[in-house]
Structure 1
Amino acid sequence: MRRGCVVLDLPVVVIGAGPQGLAAAAQLRERGLTPLVLEAGPVAAHAVSQWAHVRLFSGWNELVDPGAARLLEPTGWTAPAGGCPTGGEWISSYLAPLAAALGDVVRLGARVTGVSRKGRDRLVDAGRDEQPFTVHVTYADGAEEKIDARAVIDASGTWASPNPAGADGLPALGEQAAATAGLVTYLPPGQVEHFAGQHVAVVGAGHSAMTAIIQLGALAEAHPETRVSWVVRRGSTGISFGGGTADELPQRGALGLGAKAAVDKGYVELVDGFRTDRIVVTDGRAVLISETGTELAPADHVVVLTGFRPDLSFLSEMRLDLDTTLQAPVRIAAEVDPNLHSCGDVRATGAADLAHPEKDLYLVGMKSYGRAPTFLAMTGYEQVRSVAAELAGDHEAAARVELVLPETGVCGGSGAFDDPEAATGGCCGAPELLTLTVAPR
């Protein structure tokens, strides 16, 4: 079946078999379209499996895509009720059954290395939109393939591209050598008992860092010889621990409260206003040195949790319309830009917001936020619902908004992040900062 020269019987290639990629496949199938999910890892939800021990702050009702639930129900699956699962529970109770229900639609060990238009490189205008996409894939056994597609949904996420410790967005001098030596890691710690009696430095101030701080603070309480340093770039007046009890996702609010308590009780030393310039390995330990020359005590382990960034390398032949700062689609950049705000008034985004000059190419899920934090699974589910509707020609459904996002209870507009005045305001008014009282150790 053809419309002009566009081949409509080709699959819609979905890059990534994470929560949003699998949901996209379910939504596409429900719309009568043929999905093909290409997952680089050896299992579906491979990225989630790497933080399987971490408990999400979203409840089950926010973690299951409605279209995926409709696909699963005939198999006898029932949606888990109540509570906030760990990543591992999310996989076993939902994501793995969903991948199984999709069957051979999901290809594992299939890494996408490039996306282009058939017979057209980035420079060619003539007939571009009428040509199918060509997706280059390398399989785990080394085999290569080119797959023609009618559309491409990139749900590959950002997990594989963590931000470095360096304050300028590049690895600090010596950081890569320290990582090679096993002193620097970029994953949230799982079992932390093996850190007992050691010095652990956590770099970063987001939800992942707070989770690590709560775990390590509990370890330091049980083992007083353990030292935990929490290294953040902002000065203390600019550190917001979230909305606490005002957060509409209680578990998200609890992260800030728990991290604050670990600092207040003296189990964690907060090192604020520290911008990492160098990491020097001395006697098998890592010394963090700031741009001003301040040195931290040698650490046995440095856990860098400074966020993530999108890998755009395999889209180099695509015509993208990305914000120059966030590397997110320009139509949603202002909504998610942490330089403007981090409050809960971010609206749901759909196909129109995610469209690029490259027709029928969409970046969804965490990747659609570029370098911005605070992405929620339910945001991605709304995105793929809208994109599937658009690709199926149901423009009314694509334009409809079926999601209201929960508020965080705080707006932390950063402005100039060294400016105490900017830190206490923002686009939505002053945040309710949780004051620190740092107890001596």
Structure 2
Amino acid sequence: MTEPATELPVVVIGAGPVGLAAAAHLLDQGLEPLILETGPAAGAAVRAWAHVRLFSPWAEVVDPAAEKLLSPTGWNHPDPTSYPSGGDWAELYLQPLADILGDRVRFGARVTGVSRAGRDRMVDADRERRPFTVHTAHADGREERILARAVIDASGTWCTPGPAGGDGLPALGEGAATDRITYRVPDLGDPAARARYAGKTTAVIGSGASAFTALAGLADLAESSDGAGTKAVWVLRRGISGSTFGGGDADQLPARGALGLAAKAAVDRGHARAVTGFRTEAVERAADSRLVLVDEDGRRLEPVDEMIVLTGFRPDLTFIDELRLGLDERLQAPVALAPLIDPNQHSCGTVYPHGHRELSHPERGVYLVGMKSYGRAPTFLAMTGYEQVRSVAAALAGDLDAADRVELSLPETGVCGGAGLFDTPDPQQPADIGCCAQDAQTGRSG
């Protein structure tokens, strides 16, 4: 407790793309990072969706400070115009970066709690002069308490997917049906997964890029030699509108726009049937053990063999509950960031670059970054996270000029049609302006 806080490391939670980039930027600012990662290797969550191809090219998923560390080692930047899979991203970029960081990354280290040393969240006295204490459980059974000058939580949201229930809670019977439900995009290149869905009827619940990917994959399976009879029922909580399938050709990330077009093609070709305005209240077993989805108004769908639930993710806040966080009541995102990404206000994922000020909390020195900073909001880009941690690292080093400087231009989605969580567009939104009209003062759109 007598060690000056400035001599302590900045603890980074998570060795994913944004956590590793945070470490690179901290080193660039002369600060010492310590990354704690639950998994056995870099990008553990990314590896879980290794079969999924990113809609951002290599040029947009390699952090500049990370590349600065990698280049002297002889690392070769993959073709900037090509699109990596999750597996490519982990093996060709994230793991080499973690290897360079060496002992600054500890694998098999699960953070179980973060607080101020000797101060629970109720105590004001001398609070900001105390370092953070990070409680960690190691894979070998050891427990450890690590003191830190600051904490950057880049743990993501992968481990806490949303349920099928339309009220944000698991539907009645959902837990009992887990043998027929997955909350991830299945790898239809894997023989076991392929056999699970081939010739079956699958309900796909969700309206984002993951749902598009699943629908396109099931459509491809239906058209293959071993997939005859494969069908999808696309369950949407809202209606079909001009923005349902994304920005299409107007999206500045062409591969992202193509996902929506592929989902539309699945519907147009008859491989997927869209059911709109359906908010699942219950999942029941039919007499033949298939699943029946029941809407809150009593509507019942025809039985399905499988369910793919892709309703987004939410942050795990349990291990940082002793910190004084300022989180939006809707999204569980930092209060200054939330209005920029709130789908209650706009349907697109276009957000201007932001940094330490939007990510700050009443508890000084703690930042939620990456996917976790978005709380429950969708459409996060790796580039956004890289800009976040560049700004946060500069702020922790005391260089507020650099921390406040915007050094990134983000691609727009091509979608802008009012509130995104309701069945109809915002009636107060002029049709020719949209919810993300450019701000004449800032030149930003969001």
Q: Residue 366 of structure 1: SS of its match in structure 2? A: helix
More off after superposition, 355-364 vs 421-430: 421-430
> Is 1:178–2:151 an aligned residue pair?
no
**For 1:297, which of 291, 298, 302 is the aligned residue?**
302
For 1:382, the aligned partner's letter is E
Contact (CA 8 Å) 2:419, 2:426: kept in 1 or not?
no
Contact (CA 8 Å) 1:248, 1:409: kept in 2 or not?
yes
User: 1:351 Cα shift?
Assistant: 0.8
Match of 1:193 in 2: 194
Match of 1:96 in 2: 95
What is the TM-score normalised by the length of structure 1? 0.93
- After TM superposition, the structure 1 = structure 2 runs for residues 155-234 of structure 1, keeping only pairs within 5 Å, are 155-179=154-178, 182-191=179-188, 193-194=194-195, 195-222=197-224, 223-234=227-238
Q: Residue 330 of structure 1: SS of its match in structure 2? A: coil
Q: CA RMSD in A?
A: 2.0
Match of 1:46 in 2: 44
Q: Which runs of 5+ in 1 are unaligned?
A: 432-441
Match of 1:260 in 2: 264
> Is 1:236–2:240 an aligned residue pair?
yes
User: 1:227 Cα shift?
Assistant: 1.7
Decide whether aligned partners of structure 1 residues 287 and 424 sit closer, same or farther in structure 2, where only a CA change above 3 A counts: farther
User: 1:211 Cα shift?
Assistant: 0.5
**For 2:33, which of 32, 35, 40 is the aligned residue?**
35
> Is 1:129–2:110 an aligned residue pair?
no
Contact (CA 8 Å) 1:19, 1:95: kept in 2 or not?
yes
- After TM superposition, the structure 1 = structure 2 runs for residues 278-297 of structure 1, keeping only pairs within 5 Å, are 278-282=282-286, 283-297=288-302
Contact (CA 8 Å) 1:113, 1:136: kept in 2 or not?
yes
Please give the alpha-carbon distance, in whole angstroms, between the structure 1 residues aligned to 2:83 and 2:149: 37
Please give the alpha-carbon distance, in whole angstroms, between the structure 2 residues aligned to 1:420 and 1:78: 46
Q: Which runs of 5+ in 2 are unaligned?
A: 437-446
Q: Residue 8 of structure 1: SS of its match in structure 2? A: helix
For 1:47, the aligned partner's letter is A
What is the TM-score normalised by the length of structure 2? 0.92
User: 1:344 Cα shift?
Assistant: 5.5
Please give the alpha-carbon distance, in whole angstroms, between the structure 1 residues aligned to 2:230 and 2:427: 35
User: 1:342 Cα shift?
Assistant: 3.3
Decide whether aligned partners of structure 1 residues 424 and 410 sit closer, same or farther in structure 2, where only a CA change above 3 A counts: farther
Please give the alpha-carbon distance, in whole angstroms, between the structure 2 residues aligned to 1:198 and 1:383: 43
Q: Residue 204 of structure 2: SS of its match in structure 1? A: strand
Please give the alpha-carbon distance, in whole angstroms, between the structure 2 residues aligned to 1:126 and 1:421: 47
Decide whether aligned partners of structure 1 residues 144 and 430 sit closer, same or farther in structure 2, where only a CA change above 3 A counts: closer
> Is 1:60–2:58 an aligned residue pair?
yes
User: 1:419 Cα shift?
Assistant: 2.9
1:7-54 CA distances to partner (integer Å, 9 max, x unpaired)? 211110000010000000111112211111001112210000010000
Please give the alpha-carbon distance, in whole angstroms, between the structure 2 residues aligned to 1:243 and 1:356: 34
Please give the alpha-carbon distance, in whole angstroms, between the structure 2 residues aligned to 1:197 and 1:317: 50
User: 1:425 Cα shift?
Assistant: 6.3
Please give the alpha-carbon distance, in whole angstroms, between the structure 2 residues aligned to 1:426 and 1:326: 26
**For 1:74, which of 57, 72, 75 is the aligned residue?**
72
**For 2:359, which of 354, 372, 375 is the aligned residue?**
354
Contact (CA 8 Å) 2:207, 2:244: kept in 1 or not?
no
Decide whether aligned partners of structure 1 residues 168 and 238 sit closer, same or farther in structure 2, where only a CA change above 3 A counts: farther
1:316-365 CA distances to partner (integer Å, 9 max, x unpaired)? 11000111111100111110001111336411111111111111100000
Contact (CA 8 Å) 1:412, 1:425: kept in 2 or not?
no
More off after superposition, 15-24 vs 291-300: 291-300
